[in-house]
Structure 1
Amino acid sequence: MGAAMAANLARAGYPLTVWNRTPGRAAELRKLGAKEGDHPAEVAAASDVVAICVSDSPDVEAVLFGEHGVAEGIKAGSLVIDCSTISPAVTWQAAQRLARQEVDLVDAPVSGGSEGAQKATLTIFVGGEPAAFERARPILEVLGKTVTHVGPSGSGQAVKAVNQVILAGTYLGVAEGIILAMKSGLDVEQVVEALGGGAAQSWVLANRSGRMIANDYPLGFKTSLHRKDLGIALALAAEVGATLPVAALCAQLETGLVTQGHGDDDMSAVARTIRELSGLEA
């Protein structure tokens, strides 16, 4: 996702210096005019704004504060935009550490998957100081169609956790409905079309039911990443005293899928488990 987002920034005319944890992945960005740094500190030294998109809290901490990390090269007055989905507490701690260097951080996790990253239609939830958000806004508006400042540092990550909890229930609900229709001998495509005009309509029903019917789950958003995100949400729930039974169930199902080797499938693969439990081909 980060490469697609960076490509959209390059096409919008932003001069880029880029770095990827996996060597060799910047070739397409170089064709768009980006320079490639040897490490995050070099990227930070060449930039007024540093955008990060990696997988998890330890990855963000390593990019920011590890050897040759952003913090080693960044200049006072710079801005860090973290589009990763990580723990709100880790975000807040990182913001405090960077503030000591007179650097602002906004957490800006995104929703919309790889398609949204490629098409620049992401939904972006932003936490941080209002002035830092306004500085980040023009960049984020290149990446997504909906950019919302939701509160202070860590708030963007908390909203993303809410987003992932809601998606857990929606994907499970659609999967159960599709399997019920199949087991009932109905024309499932017709069922989906009929439901699309009523209260059961959702993005997941419209865009992922076909994958569940075909039992084929090309990548949109990895099951393993959604499982990671649910771990963040469940930890936040434990911290604030919220009970999330559906999210907990979905996390267990996704743990099983990852164990079975389906972690890189789109998260609609939760239907695999419902199919198997219902006696259909999994």
Structure 2
Amino acid sequence: MADADGVAGNRRVGWIGLGSMGQPMAARLLAAGWPLTVWARREEHARPLLEQGARWAPDLAELARHSTHVVTMLRSSDDVQQVWHALLPHLAAGTQAIDMTTAAPSVAAPLAQALQQRGAHWLDCPVTGGLAGARQGTLTLFAGGEACALQGSQALLAQLSRRVVACGAAGSGYRTKLINQTMMAGALLGVAEGAALARAAGMQGDPLRDALSDGTGSGWMFDAYVQRMVDGDGAVGFTLAMLRKDLELALLAAAELGRPGTLLLRHALATVEAACERHGAQAGVQALAWS
């Protein structure tokens, strides 16, 4: 466990995945006193963390050898499989393996079993709460894996989140995140449709938000996006490409459960794909409200 002042003692973290979410999360660990080793395909992506005191690993083997906890936050299920299979031969017994990617539930069980054979412990632990949550340490984490794995990672996860939910066996964290994204997509499309109507009527975001903030259509998604959607604010937190990937994974998971005809997911994915064509995949999801 972490010391009383939040410092990790003799625990050492290896971090892989320095995108828009991974960077601020890793920086929080450094600021809390956790010794951090990082690896990226291009060293310049790690430069901000190296300047803050992180150690550079020239390869995955070196990172694994210097880490009691290894955290990944990657782009895809394929990346998860490739990176962890490369790490696997170099992990010491007792290593806590934590993947925070939004990935396919089917990825988890084979990796958990392979890690168990080396005496290491697996958690699939995707996050929700956005870029602000990553910076402020207020994310919610969905943890899939054995109870001992969660217990061995609690001090680290506490630096990154305000809530860690134990969801069940390996893969349950991934699955819970995809259920969250399915529900989120419905709320997001509803806010986008309402915002598009407001834009067409020449309304402004501030008064509309004030008028509706205590109504039945309000909520987290409304608060986060309605003003940006109505006013055309391009500040990007969550991109269309990210949402498209999550919806594709949710559809795949639904098909594996015998529900391939999920109407909301199919409609949401088609809507996001059309927005990607109009505005570019790296536009923020607020572009769903723009014609």
Aligned to 1:280: none
- Unaligned regions of 5+ residues in structure 2, if any? 1-20
Whether the 8 Å contact between 2:205 and 2:231 is mirrored in structure 1 is: no
Give the Å deviation of 1:190.
2.3
Aligned to 2:87: 70
Partner amino acid, structure 1, of 2:73:
C
Check 1:45–1:248 CA distance in 2 against 1; reply closer, same or farther (3 A cut): same
Mapped partners of 2:47, 2:205: distance in 1: 43
Q: Paired residues, what number? A: 270
Q: Does 1:269 align with 2:291?
A: no
Whether the 8 Å contact between 2:121 and 2:149 is mirrored in structure 1 is: yes
Give the Å deviation of 1:186.
4.7
List per-residue Cα deviations over 1:179-205 (Å, max 9, x = no partner): 223334555532321211122111121
List per-residue Cα deviations over 1:225-269 (Å, max 9, x = no partner): 111111111111111133531221111121223334521122222
Structure 1 length normalisation: TM-score?
Answer: 0.91
Aligned to 2:268: 250
Q: Which shows bigger deviation, 5-14 or 215-224?
A: 215-224
Partner amino acid, structure 2, of 1:50:
V
- What is the CA RMSD across the aligned residues, in angstroms? 1.6
Partner amino acid, structure 2, of 1:39:
D
List per-residue Cα deviations over 1:120-162 (Å, max 9, x = no partner): 1111110000111111121111011121111110000001001
Mapped partners of 2:234, 2:268: distance in 1: 17
- Unaligned regions of 5+ residues in structure 1, if any? 277-282
**Partner secondary structure for residue 280 of structure 2:** coil
Aligned to 1:31: 51
Pairing of 1:1-282 with structure 2 (within 5 A): 1-65=21-85, 69-184=86-201, 186=203, 188-242=205-259, 243-260=261-278, 262-272=280-290, 276=291
Mapped partners of 2:83, 2:222: distance in 1: 37
Structure 2 length normalisation: TM-score?
Answer: 0.88
Whether the 8 Å contact between 2:203 and 2:230 is mirrored in structure 1 is: no
Aligned to 1:279: none
Q: Which shows bigger deviation, 208-217 or 155-164?
A: 208-217
Mapped partners of 2:22, 2:199: distance in 1: 38
Mapped partners of 1:258, 1:140: distance in 2: 34
List per-residue Cα deviations over 1:20-52 (Å, max 9, x = no partner): 123211122122221010122211110111001
**Partner secondary structure for residue 43 of structure 2:** coil
